[in-house]
Structure formats: structure tokens, C-alpha cells
Amino acid sequence: MLATNYRGKRRIRVDKDAPMPEIRHPQDSIIKVTRTCICGSDLHLYNGNVPDTRIGSVFGHEFVGTVTEIGSEVTNIKVGDHVIVPFNIACGECIFCEQELYASCHESNAQSTALGGIFGYSHIAGGHQGGQAEYVRVPYSNVGPVVIPENMDLDDAVLLTDILPTGYQAAEMGGIQKGDTVVVFGAGPVGIMAAKCAWLFGAGRVIVIDKEEYRLDFVKKYANCEVYNFLSMDDPVRFIKQITDWLGADVCIDAVGAEAAGDALQTITGRKLLLQAGSATALQWAINSVRKGGIVSVVGVYGPTGNLVPIGNVVNKGITIRAGQASVKRLLPRLIKHVQDGIISPKELITHRIPLEEAADAYRMFSEKLDYIIKPVLIPPSVTY
Amino acid sequence: MNNEIKDHSHIKGWGVDADKKNDPTYPMQNRIDGPSKYERKSQNQQPVLQEVLHSNERPNVSAVTGLGPEPSGLSGKLRRFAFEHGEGEFSHWIPLILADRINAVEGIVNDIKDGRFPDIIKEKGWPAQWKHDKKGLIKKLAVYGAITVGTIWLLRGKGDK
Ligand SMILES: NC(=O)c1ccc[n+]([C@@H]2O[C@H](COP(=O)([O-])OP(=O)(O)OC[C@H]3O[C@@H](n4cnc5c(N)ncnc54)[C@H](O)[C@@H]3O)[C@@H](O)[C@H]2O)c1
Ligand SMILES: [Zn+2]
Ligand SMILES: [Zn+2]
């Protein structure tokens, strides 16, 4: 089968003769992928910044597809079903899954106790092969996969595997109260969704900060928010204070993570020298520009070692930090409904449809923000719809 | 947590201010009452047919494991060493970061051994950069070129002395 194959820092090959995945556990199923996206999270892997990313790994945690084979204990889905597969691999029974912390499953990742299993996300996330391929093995198929409702567009469905739930949870973790001012750092797909969802919780004002003018233009229209380009600011923190009555925002959301730009010291130590687990610029700005007693919600992803963040300010300002990988399964019923009710239309974020064979080009484009890219979807050659 | 449910009635005022909603994870965590305990329920163990390194902060391999590349070669040795150390230790992460770099070289060597010369230009997506951002690509190549020439010049300068 066709599959992406990680060959080293910023090198992706597409193999035509990759081995077909097999059922290895009674709750496994095999899915034939019909849509798969590249995510901002994949860029951390692509840039070689996630430890234990082994050569030969297949990336990809955002995919939908049809079930071609099921294990002996799979009862929740059947061959032929077209399913949404949450990016988290969750057993549904461990103490964390029981509490709906599906991103923290204890039985899907042997390599790290900080994180549950994630498809195609290095051995830190369990070493599971991912969905940027024609076929993928889906463990715990009674728990994760959800049949795509009739009439739902596949492009909407594939954004329900991660991007919409993550943006929604970013807003949810902000504990937004009616009238609150919310600042979202990052106008990538996650930040765009966070801005959109902030309104659902009753925000009074939503502000998005990025450096890519075309993304700011998009989110301004898509999520009716105020947008500002940090490249035109001397000091983004002071700027936010200034536009929030000199108090700071009630809620700040970090939807950027480890690849953040904007601060030379953070960039050099975090992204070039790997002295910290990525550049923590956006998180630093979020902490410094939230009001005293405010809430910082972090969905931007960082590596496992450590980062330079102004923890003293967190203490002095009495800030609450809430963070997490999105618990997709917990949110899916509600978000499917929001999509069906027309409250959110995720597919508008998709700017590029690229054949799976051209994954290397797609990675380069998404990473370098070429051709006004917002969200690329990869389509396997056998899929004609 | 991790305590058996005990009778705390001898502690004056025990629990008088307890408030389920005073939980920053509320309502996203469907908290269960009582002590947290590690137990396997009906999750069957996937047969472990390949080498799975597991964190030393857990007693076992998770019920389900990934089937991604196994540790191999020199990078594999480093990975095995890394997993002897806890997730909070640099002695866990530094060997892994190093192993990733070595693994990339091993990948090239193995490709060549298999008669498959890596097409690095394609793998790096340069054609897309050329198509959409010629200027950026030329600038990047110029910078890399200058660094290479500079390094060679410096090294040669040293050699001359
Ligand atoms: N927690 C989760 O479950 C989860 C799920 C998906 C993605 N993520 C993470 O969310 C983050 C964003 O993902 P994405 O797909 O939108 O990625 P993306 O790379 O497309 O977007 C990131 C955006 O941040 C901008 N940016 C860079 N530095 C900035 C700064 N200092 N301030 C403001 N903006 C800045 C970039 O220009 C870019 O537009 C990533 O870290 C990704 O790993 C987390
Ligand atoms: Zn993602
Ligand atoms: Zn679990």
C-alpha cells in the first residue's frame, strides 16, 4: 500500500510498497483512509523536535475512512462503515478513560506515562503507525471510531478528528464567562476554531494574534473577531494591555505551541539549539497578557523536557492554567450536532487538496505557509470522491 | 489519592468545605469518587511480538502497543539505554534526541544498501518551495552555501597554521 515514511528532519518519502497493517488485537480494525490531514502537531515531528521519532514511522492522526476488517471483539462498527477516528487511542476502561480523559488513556502507550496513544505521533505517543497512508490499524475500535452521519461532508468529518474538538476544548478550558475578552494566540486551524468556539461560550470580545496576514484575514471573516499582526508590534504584551483597558484579557489561549516565532531568545534556544522543548513565545505572551486572576488555556503542543516560561508571574498574578490534548471522544456528540446545525462549518478551513503521493510537498507547503495554505487534506489515489 | 477510603471523622472539620465544583478540571473531567487504583479490566494484552520499550514509570507494557519501527542498530542501543531512565530525567531524553539523529543516518545507509538512493530534494519538498516561493528558496540556498563555504574556509585556515 501507499504510505508516508519519515526519513529524518524535514524529510518525508511516500512508499508504494509499505506493508499492509494487520489485526493484532481482538479490538483492532483496519480502516481504508479516504481523507487525512496534516496538522500543526505534525510539524513538531517533521522538524525533528519530538524525541523518539523513529525513521520509518508513518505520520498522521487526522483521518476518516471505511472499515475493511474487524477483530473478533469489535461490535461497535462493521465492515463498510465510514468512520471518524478520534486522534486519541483510548481503551475506554482505564481509570483515565473512565473519567473521560481519553487523551490520557493508560493502556495505549507504553513509552510515556504523560500521554495516551496517538496515531502516527512518534514513540512518545505509543509508536502507533498513522493515517497518512492508504490503510491504518485502529486499536480499541469499540471506543474511538464513530460512524459519519448521513449527509455529512467528508471534509467536515475529517476536521472532527482533531481540529474542531481541539479548538473547542481550548475555549472550554478558558472557562469563558459571558462578556469575557478572549485573546487567541495563533491563527492556524486550531486557533481559528478556538476563536470561533469562544463565542459559543459567550465571549464578549475575541482577539486573534498571528504574523501571517492571510490567516488573520481568514479568521477575521470566519470567526468575526478582531485581528492583529504581532510583526507590527514592539511589545505584543503591552499592546494587549493597551487594548484591554490596561488590565489584560480575561482569558488567553495558546494555540501555537513549540514552533512559535516572535522572540529571538525563545526561537534560538527552543527551535535551533533544542535547549528547551520548543519555543515558548506564545505561552509567555499568554501568561503575561492575561489579567490578574485570569485563565490561560494551553492546547499548543510542547516537547517533554521543559520550557522557559515566566512561572513567577503565574504565581504573582494568581493565574489558572488549564491545558490538555483534546479529549475528542468526549466532545464528538456535541460537535457533530453543532456541525449538523450549521453553527460551525469546519470544511471552510481546507484550502488545499493534495494527492497522498505528494505528501512531501504538502509538508513543505504547510510548514513554510506557502500558497496561502491553512489546512491541507491528503487524498489517497483510489479515492475519487 | 491512592489511599484506601479511610474514616477521617477524628479530624475536626474534615470535609466541611469540600465543594465538587472547586475543581479546575470541572466539568471536563467526569471525576470518580474514591481512591485511584491501577487495574486492568477487560483490556486484553496484545501479543508483544516486537521489541517494545516501556517507560520505567509504569510496571508493564500497555495493553495495546504501536507497531511502528522497532529499536535497531546504534540508535536502538541508545533508545534502550534511555528507557532505563525515568521520564523526568535528561538521561532519558538526550539519548533519544541523539538516537533520532543517528537513526536518520542509519536510514540513509540502509536505503543505499537496499539499492534505493534517497531522493532528498523530493523528500524535502523543494519542488513545492520552488513552485510557490522561488525567492525564499534561492535565499535559503544562498545562506546554506555561504555557511558551507565559510566553514570550509575556516577549517582550511586552521589546517594551514
Ligand atoms: N492539544 C491538542 O489536542 C492539539 C491538537 C491539535 C493541534 N495542537 C497544537 O496546536 C498548535 C497549533 O496547531 P495548528 O494546526 O493550528 O498549527 P499551525 O502551525 O498551522 O498554526 C500555528 C500558527 O501560529 C502562528 N504563530 C507563530 N508564532 C506565534 C506567536 N508567537 N503568537 C501568535 N501566533 C504565532 C503561526 O504563524 C501559525 O499561523 C500546535 O502546537 C499543535 O501541535 C494541539
Ligand atoms: Zn492534529
Ligand atoms: Zn484508557
Which residue has 504565581 as its cell numbers?
Answer: A315
pLDDT at residue B3, rounded to an integer: 55
Q: Which three cell numbers stand for residue A315?
A: 504565581
* Residue A282 CB less than 6 A away from ligand 1: yes
Q: What is the ipTM of this complex?
A: 0.90
Whether B145 is in a domain gets the answer yes
Residue B30 domain-assigned? no
**Distance between CA atoms of residues A284 and A306, nearest Å:** 13
**Rounded mean pLDDT, A71-98:** 97
**pLDDT score of A197:** 97
**Using the 8-state DSSP alphabet, how is residue A272 labeled?**
I
pTM (2 d.p.): 0.94
| Whether residue B158 sits in one domain with residue B137 | yes
Contact A110 B37 (CB under 8 A): no
pLDDT per position as a tens digit, A344-376: 999 999 999 999 999 999 999 999 999 999 999
Determine the Cα–Cα distance for residues B130 and A228; give it in Å rounded to an integer: 30
A73 neighbors A143 (Cβ within 8 angstroms): no
pLDDT at residue B14, as a whole number? 84
Q: What is the C-alpha to C-alpha distance for residues A167 and A253, in angstroms, rounded to an integer? A: 10
Is residue B96 one of the residues assigned to a domain? yes
Q: A69: which strand partners?
A: A30
* Domain A166-323 listed as CATH 3.40.50.720: yes
Whether residues B161 and B126 fall in one domain: yes
The pLDDT tens digits for B67-92 are 999 999 999 999 999 999 999 999 99
Whether B135 shows a pLDDT value over 60: the answer reads: yes
Q: What is the pLDDT of residues A263-303, one digit of tens each?
A: 999 999 999 998 999 999 999 999 999 999 999 999 999 99
Pick one of 3.90.180.10, 3.30.470.20, 2.40.50.140, 3.10.20.310 as the CATH number of A3-162+327-379: 3.90.180.10
Residue A274, classed as helix, strand or coil, is: coil
Does the Cβ of A219 fall within 6 Å of ligand 1? no
Q: What is the pLDDT of residue B23?
A: 77
Over residues A112-139, the pLDDT tens digits come to 999 999 999 999 999 999 999 999 999 9
The three-point CA angle A222-A224-A229 to 5° equals: 90
pLDDT at B155 over 90: no
pLDDT of residue A223: 97
Q: Determine which helix (DSSP H) or strand (DSSP E) holds A32, and give its type and residue range.
A: strand A29-37
Hey, which residues 50-109 in chain B have their CB within 8 Å of chain A?
A: 52-55, 57-58, 60-69, 71, 75, 79, 82-83, 87, 90, 93, 96-97, 99-101, 103-104, 106-108
Domain limits for position B78: 71-118
Query: What confidence score (pLDDT) does residue A206 get?
Result: 98
Out of A35-39, A48-52, B143-147, least confident range: B143-147
Ligand 3 centre to CA of A77 (Å) is: 19
> What is chain B's length?
161
Number of domains in chain B: 2
Among the listed residues A335, A285, A276, the one whose alpha carbon sits nearest the alpha carbon of residue A307 = A276
pLDDT band per the 50, 70, 90 thresholds, residue B4: low
B88 found inside a domain: yes
Domain boundaries defined on chain A: 3-162+327-379, 166-323
Q: For residue B17, what pLDDT band results from cuts at 50, 70 and 90?
A: confident
Band (pLDDT 50/70/90 cuts) for residue B158 is low
Query: Are B124 and B100 in the same domain?
Result: no
pLDDT, position A1: 97
Sheet holding A226-229, edge to edge: A226-229, A205-210, A181-185, A249-254, A290-298, A320-323
Task: Count helices and strands (H / E) in chain B.
Answer: 5, 0
Question: What's the CA gap between A331 and A90, in Å, rounded?
Answer: 14
**Rounded to an integer, what distance in angstroms lies between the CA atom of residue A22 and that of residue A137?**
7
Alpha-carbon distance of A337 to A220, in angstroms, equals: 24
Q: Would you call B22 an interface residue with chain A, using a CB distance cutoff of 8 Å?
A: no
Would you say residue B161 has pLDDT above 60?
Answer: no
Judge whether B11 lies within some domain.
Answer: no
CA–CA dist A215, A219 (Å, integer): 6
Using the predicted structure, report yes or no on whether residue A331 has a pLDDT greater than 80: yes
What is residue A269's DSSP assignment? I
Instruction: Say if residues A112 and B61 touch (Cβ distance below 8 Å).
Output: no
Look up residue A183 and give its three cell numbers: 485573546
B-proximal residues of A, 58-87, CB under 8 Å: 58, 73
Mean residue pLDDT across chain A: 97
In this structure, are B131 and B111 located in the same domain? no
Give the mean model confidence (pLDDT) for residues A202-229. 98
pLDDT digits (tens, 9 = 90+) for A305-324: 899 999 999 999 999 999 99
Q: Does B49 touch chain A (CB under 8 A)?
A: yes
Residue B78 CB partners (closer than 8 Å, separation 6+): B95, B96, B98, B99, B102
Does the beta carbon of A139 lie under 8 angstroms from any beta carbon of chain B? yes
Whose CA is closest to atom 31 on ligand 1? A282
